[in-house]
Chain A
Amino acid sequence: MSVDGGAVSPEWPDPELGSSRRPALSWVGWIGVGAISACALIAIVGPWLAPHDPIQTLSNESFAFPPEAAFLGTDYLGRDLLSRLLHGARLTLLLSLATAIIAFVLGVAAGFAAAIAGRWLDLLLSRIVDGLLAVPSIILALMVIGSLGTSVPVLIGTVAVIEGGRIFRVARALARDLDVMDFMEAARARGEGMLWLMLREMLPNAIGPLVTEFGLRLTYTLLFISALSFLGFGMQPPSADWGAMVKENIEGLLYGSPAALLPAACIAVATIGVNLLIDGYLDRATIDRVPDMLP
Chain B
Amino acid sequence: MRLRLSVALRAATRRLLIGLVTIWVVATVIFGATEILPGDVAEAVLGPDATPESLAAMRERLGLDRPVLLRYATWLDHALLRLDLGASLGSGRPVAEAVGDRLWNTARLAAVTALLAIPAALALGVISAIRAGSVLDRGIGLAALCAVSVPGFFVAIALVYVFAVQLGWLPALATVRPGQTFPAFLRSVALPSATLAIGLMPHIIRQTRNALLAALSHAHIEMAVLKGVPRSAIILRHALPNALAPILNIVALVSAYLVAGVVVVETVFGFPGLGRLMVDAVATRDTPVAQACALIFATTYVVANALADTLAVLANPRLRVPR
Contacts and interface: CB of A to CB of B under 8 A. Distances in A.
B161 A261 contact: yes
B5 interface: no
A224 B184 CA distance: 33
B298 A135 contact: yes
B205 A287 contact: yes
B30 A258 contact: no
B132 interface: yes
A196 B152 CA distance: 43
A256 to B, nearest CB: 5
Q: How large is the interface on A (under 10, 10 to 19, 20 to 34, 35 or more residues)?
A: 35 or more
Interface in A133-190: 134-140, 142-149
B294 A287 contact: no
B26 interface: yes
Contact of B30 (A137, A143, A268): A143
Interface of B is mostly: helix
Given A271-B149, A286-B145, A294 B203 contact: yes
Interface centre among A132, A145, A293 (most CB of B within 10 A): A293
Contact of B282 (A28, A233, A265, A290): A233
A267 B151 contact: yes
Interface in B1-54: 22, 25-26, 28-30, 33-35, 37-39, 41, 44
A4 to B, nearest CB: 44
A212 to B, nearest CB: 14
Nearest to A275: B149
B29 A140 contact: yes
A291 interface: yes
A294 to B, nearest CB: 5
A205 B297 CA distance: 39
A279 B146 CA distance: 11
B153 A246 contact: yes
B72 interface: no
B245 interface: no
A132 B268 CA distance: 27
A230 interface: yes
Contact of B259 (A136, A232, A253): A136
A110 interface: no
A144 B33 contact: yes
Given A134-B298, A135-B26, A272-B146, A286 B161 contact: no
B33 A140 contact: yes
B22 A290 contact: no
A231 B260 CA distance: 13
A12 to B, nearest CB: 35
Interface in A239-269: 243, 246, 250, 253-254, 256, 258, 260-261, 264-265, 267-268
A253 B290 contact: no
Contacts of B267: 230-231
B29 A131 contact: yes
B30 A135 contact: yes
A148 B37 CA distance: 7
B208 to A, nearest CB: 10
Contacts of B140: 287
Given A28-B142, A231-B263, A291-B148, A134 B282 contact: no
A275 B152 CA distance: 16
Given A142-B294, A149-B44, A289-B145, A261 B33 contact: no
B231 interface: no
A226 B151 contact: yes
B153 A230 contact: yes
Contacts of A267: 150-151, 154
Interface string B260-302: 1001100110000000001101110101001101100110011
A136 B298 contact: yes
A256 B168 CA distance: 11
A232 B263 CA distance: 12
Contact of A286 (B142, B157, B164, B263): B142
B278 A130 contact: no
Nearest to A158: B33
Contacts of B302: 134
A285 B283 contact: no
Contacts of A28: 142
A134 to B, nearest CB: 5
Contact of A295 (B25, B38, B165, B260): B260
Given A134-B26, A264-B157, A139 B294 contact: yes
A48 B53 CA distance: 52
Given A285-B132, A290-B145, A272 B150 contact: yes
Contacts of A149: 39, 44
Given A142-B290, A256-B165, A272-B150, A279 B145 contact: yes
Given A135-B294, A143-B30, A223 B151 contact: yes
A294 B298 contact: no
Given A139-B297, A146-B287, A286-B145, 17 more contacts: A134-B29, A139-B278, A140-B29, A142-B263, A143-B30, A143-B290, A148-B39, A226-B153, A253-B157, A253-B172, A264-B154, A267-B154, A268-B149, A271-B149, A286-B141, A288-B206, A295-B301
9 contacts: A136-B298, A143-B33, A231-B263, A253-B164, A267-B150, A271-B149, A285-B132, A287-B210, A291-B148
> What are the 4 A-B residue pairs with the smallest beta carbon separation, nearest first?
A287-B141, A286-B141, A264-B154, A146-B282
